[in-house]
Structure 1
Amino acid sequence: MAAEEAIARPVDGPGMHTASAPLPERGEPAERAPHGWRIAGVLLPALFLIAVEALVRGDVLPDNLVPAPSEIARALWQLGGEHLLQHIAQSTLRVAAGFGCGALLAVAVGAAMGLSRRLDALLDPSFQALRAIPSLAWVPVLLLWMGIDEAPKITLVAIGAFFPVHLSVISGIRNVDRKLVELGAVYRLSSWRLFVRILLPAALPHIFTGLRTGLAVSWMFVVAAELIAATRGLGYLLSDGRETGRPDIVFGAIILLGLLGKLTDSAMKTVEAHVLAWRDTTNEGARA
């Protein structure tokens, strides 16, 4: 009894700190982000655009290199709503198709390599070499193999999405707590049930991190993809603005790519929060 009281009693001494507050209960956040900071995070880009507008109007920044945000908005408006939506829709469809194909293949291959050391030793050197190839280096190869239709564009986006997801799946499986695997062995789970019931759920946080990274890379690769004889898309719009000397169109396309990237990342983050609602972490509480 005395030993139990000694263990429960806080210990003070050199290098030891007495807890000033009890640990949060399950679902209770350790620290919440103040509401004002959330509002500031939304307003920060708007304040930046206002500052650029003022600097351009005050002739501090040259308008032929950095157009005023109002001029960018006017240029996008002059493109016409339907015409601009066609560019946005085309890029979005290419990202969705390429990311979907690349992510599915990455999960399958990454899971196989994460579960098999032999397969990982066989394939990892090749994948690491392919991962280092820049996106534009794939363009002439895909043109040669697939022509100028949609196939090479979607394939290039899939290549960009594959490697971040692939690495995250392997890392997630390899970093599963060994005690969980031993628990599966105690219950005599088959290899498939061990993967589905223990390894995959435990690796999901890593996998979602890779999915979000792969989605962001997909938006980067779609610009390179739309250099392949495209007549629609934000990458084409950006290239056309550069060739015609329209910095307002160039910056407009860049802003739209950033907005779409943010919206799709927020959607993926919402899916992650829903799928991983079972987690009991300080981050889960702080998100509220």
Structure 2
Amino acid sequence: MSAVETTAAPASDGGPRLIPAPRFVVGLILPILLAVGWEAAVRFGLATGRLMPPPSRVFATLWELAASGELARHIAATSLRVAVGFGLGVVAGTLAGAVAGYSTLVRRLIDPTLQGLRSIPSIAWVPLFILWLGIFEESKVALIAVGVFFPVYLGVMGAILSVDRKIVEVGRVFRLTGPALVRRILLPAILPAYVLALRSGLGLGWMFVVAAEFMGASEGLGYLLVDGQQLGKPDQIVAAILCFAVLGKITDGLVAAGSAPFLRWQDNFRRED
């Protein structure tokens, strides 16, 4: 166990005892070091901090936005868009991936088209969605759903195709019905890959919301980015980027924590340094 992951605590025999520090503490070491280093570089005149503001200016901007209530409003607008788009993308991606993975005919029919559509950049969908759905919330949510759909679809289809045929044959030997085979064999087998697909889709959802909020949004973290770029406020731009990073990490952690109880049966290799 490394020294950075341990703290000293009194043991029963009077000597020091090392206990593991929380994982998030270790994860904060690198960003804190980078922030302190850049702050010191600006304070000592090694950098101007004009285009890349120091953390003190960024946190001052965040404080001003929070005190005025703007930050909460922008975070709520962006989070709602991501939540709705994520839900729609997950449902569509799961259904399409499950059908394509289970049926060879369906896979040969729809997979080439979906693979081609997957290569289209997110910003290329913007004019079409504005034309179809207008400039309001529907087009923004649709764009986010598209971003979430493809990793979920690929994850589910690939997980089903990678299920060991021998396991399925064992289920058939025990005369499991179709629903029972899915519930007791297929679902546990694809669940780890499905969780990874959800996390990948969620990450793309946060990326696509930026492009979505470029479509004439009047609120949201993407709006803060555009506003900061137009008014020459690099501290506001970095503050919005920091909010995206924090929100993305929190939501990813929620998905991982929510799925952990369903993956306790796994006996994977884990190296403890």
TM score, norm. by length of structure 1: 0.84
Runs ≥4 in structure 1, deviation > 6 angstroms? none
- Give the distance between the partners of 1:61 and 1:185, measured in 2 at CA: 68
Write out per-residue CA displacement over residues 12-55 of structure 1, whole angstroms, 9 at most, x where no aligned residue: xxxxxxxxxxxxxxxxxxxxx86369433222211211111111
Residue from 201, 204, 209 that aligns with 1:222: 209
Q: In structure 2, the residue corresponding to 1:282 is in which secondary structure? A: coil
1:51 paired with 2:37, answer yes
Listed one character per residue, the Cα deviations across residues 51-90 of structure 1 (whole Å, up to 9, x for unaligned) are 1111122222232111011001111222243211000011
Shift of residue 148 of structure 1? 1.3
Aligned to 2:63: 77
Distance 2:188 2:125 in 1: 34
Question: Which of 229-238 and 274-283 deviates more?
Answer: 274-283
Tell me, which stretches of 5 or more residues in structure 1 are unaligned?
Answer: 1-32
Name the SS for the 1:121 alignment partner.
Answer: helix
Residues 67, 248 of structure 1: 8 Å contact kept: yes
Counterpart check, 1:104 vs 2:54 = no
In the alignment, which of 256, 264, 267 is matched to residue 277 of structure 1?
A: 264
Match of 1:114 among 86, 96, 101: 101
In the TM superposition, 1:120-131 aligns within 5 A as 120-131=107-118
Residues 56 and 66 in structure 1, CA contact (< 8 A), matched pair in contact too: no
Q: Tell me the distance in 2 between the aligned counterparts of 1:78 and 1:41.
A: 27
AA aligned to 1:44 is L
Secondary structure of 1:195's match?
helix
The within-5 A match list for 1:197-276 is 197-276=184-263
Shift of 1:117: 0.8
Q: Whole-Å Cα distance in 2 between the matches of residues 75 and 214 of structure 1? A: 30
Higher Cα radius of gyration = 1
The letter for the 2-side match of 1:150 is E
1:210 partner SS = helix
Count residues with an aligned counterpart.
254
Alignment root-mean-square deviation, CA: 1.8
Given that 1:138 and 1:156 are in contact with CA atoms closer than 8 Å, whether structure 2 keeps it comes out as yes
Matches of 1:191 and 1:139, distance apart in 2:
42
User: Sequence identity of aligned pairs in percent?
Assistant: 45
1:222, distance to aligned residue in structure 2 (A): 0.4
C-alpha separation in 2, matches of 1:251 and 1:72:
7
Higher relative contact order structure (alpha carbons within 8 Å, sequence separation ≥ 6)? 1
What amino acid maps onto 1:252 in structure 2? A
